[in-house]
Structure 1
Amino acid sequence: MANEAKPCPCDIGDRMEYGGLGQEVQIDHIKAYVVKPSTVSDKAIIVIQDIFGWQLPNTRYMADMLSANGYIAVCPDFYVGKEPWSPSHDWSKFQEWYEDKKPTNINKEVDVVLRYLKEQCGAKHIGAVGFCWGGAATHYLALQYPEVKAGVSFYGKSLEEIYGLKSPTLFVFAENDHVIPLDQVEALEVKLKKKCTVDYQVKIFPGQTHGFVHRKREDINPADKPSIQEARTDMLNWLNKYI
């Protein structure tokens, strides 16, 4: 973590006044935001929240973007009703808040979502996209679920066993991310190069900061717009290649 006072630079950023194109549904014991493309599709993406939870408009905007590109997108509440982090919370309490929300303790929820996508949505090809906390969760899915055919992890803390990926994974990082310094990204690349047997790519965006892909609005950040759009295009290209 960056420091004890503020262990994650997860500001809300450009929080959108955005309602979303999908709907909230109940899937077994969890709620989820689901948006489907205009034409029938058997391709689906699990969109994994950051610390601000499954209802953050910015994350739903990304889910809608995936849907517009032909994917059924589902953003589940991986905190299972527990309160997400808020910018008004005391950052010194972050570790205490995080303790029962680890991105490696989501198997029950992932199993439920996978079953929903297969049985109720007709999905035959499934991927995962995650941001920050969800980026680490995407790592985890790529390690544990070979049926998840591709992953895109945006600025997620890497896991120790990350070189054992079972799914092709794109890792997107920001050059000026104080939570994930470049030496950690380099260490990840070394591990992947030595051990990983599936396709992967690690990409660092110069000058960018944590959260830039989904928390910076391209319409009001002209200097960042090329990087935002490039990262989103990379996401779609990766998913289209493997799903």
Structure 2
Amino acid sequence: MKELKKEDISQDIFDLYDDYAHNNLNRRQFVEKLSLYAVGGLTVTSLLSFISPNYIDTLLVQPDDPTLDSQYITYDSPKGGGTIKGLLSQPKANTTKLPGVIVIHENRGLNPYIEDVGRRVAKEGFISLAPDALTPLGGYPGNDDDGRTMQKKRDRNEMIEDFIAAYHYLKSHEHCNGSIGVVGFCFGGWMSNMIAVRLPELDAAVPYYGRQPSDEDAAKIKTPLLLQYAELDTRVNEGWPAFETVLKANDIEYQAYIYPGVNHGFHNNTTPRFDKEAADLSWERTIAFFKLHLEN
């Protein structure tokens, strides 16, 4: 059997996976619907294997990178989950205080991809904190299917408090200069928007394909925003026009990019939804945005 490539997969399969990844289908329903596309030499097993995350071969920054100090810490979240675990990463041998960036995971906990993003942020000269909102339930379980199931059990408002507590932990860290930004993906994109709503003192927010806050909440934002969307992500994009209207009406500073021809999750290099060109460009913009707004 030939090796599957991205161009072998129809957009319908990507849309199906998006429904599954966002809990609109359970695994049995997903596999049943996926079987409809197992034709012409394709099997359900091969399709499932191809579209599922590959965390083994995709790390861009190794956990033991010699230029970084990267370790798990815990911090208190009195209004949220109690005590939250997170990956704290920063450049080694740094003699000056650094801006801080909170890295917020998707709807499945602190998986290897998000840990890798946290280390990527640190490689750019920031101190990063990637919390695991699944900590009160035992933490990321080692696979995304169980992670999604676990995260559904947590209250969203409590998780907001967990990430607000991460902001305060990082802001008061001895190696942080007090300037804090946030970047998040999918659920983390929505969470980034909500932290901007809740914390007017937040210095910068970069939501990737995140659902938008209500009009009432959006009007409260004081934080500069860099909004990253995928053209084919109709589920999330349907909320963008109303959000932009509120941002303009309230003179909220923002930049927005809709990357053509790419799917929700295009930054995630562990699945075939990944688009290198869009991911690289969006990341360049993200780092430049943080340097502009966080470096004193």
TM-score range, shorter chain: 0.7 to 0.9
State the match for 1:41 in structure 2. 97
2:72 aligned counterpart, secondary structure: strand
Structure of greater Rg: 2
State the match for 2:113 in structure 1. 58
Distance 1:78 1:166, change over 3 A: farther
Show CA shifts across 1:186-213 (max 9, x none).
2222222222x33111211111111111
State the match for 2:285 in structure 1. 234
**How much identity, in percent, do the aligned residues show?**
22
List runs of 5+ in structure 2 lacking aligned partners: 1-17, 31-50, 77-82
Q: TM-score, normalised by structure 2?
A: 0.68
State the match for 1:149 in structure 2. 203
Shift of 1:229: 0.5
Alignment partners' CA distance in 1, 2:55 and 2:264: 14
State the match for 2:135 in structure 1. 80
1:211 aligned counterpart, secondary structure: coil
Higher relative contact order (CA 8 A, sep 6+): 1
Alignment partners' CA distance in 2, 1:168 and 1:229: 21
Distance 1:200 1:116, change over 3 A: closer
Q: Amino acid of the residue matched to residue 131 of structure 2?
A: P
- State which drifts further: 35-44 or 70-79: 35-44
Shift of 1:48: 0.7
Alignment partners' CA distance in 1, 2:290 and 2:248: 21
Q: TM-score, normalised by structure 1?
A: 0.81
List runs of 5+ in structure 1 lacking aligned partners: none
Distance 1:115 1:224, change over 3 A: closer
Superposed CA RMSD in Å reads 3.1
Distance 1:88 1:74, change over 3 A: closer
Structure 1 segments (4+ residues) deviating >6 Å: none
State the match for 2:80 in structure 1. none
Show CA shifts across 1:36-69 (max 9, x none).
0232332110111111212x11112211111111
**8 A Cα contact 1:151 1:169, kept in partner:** yes
The number of residues matched between the two structures is 232
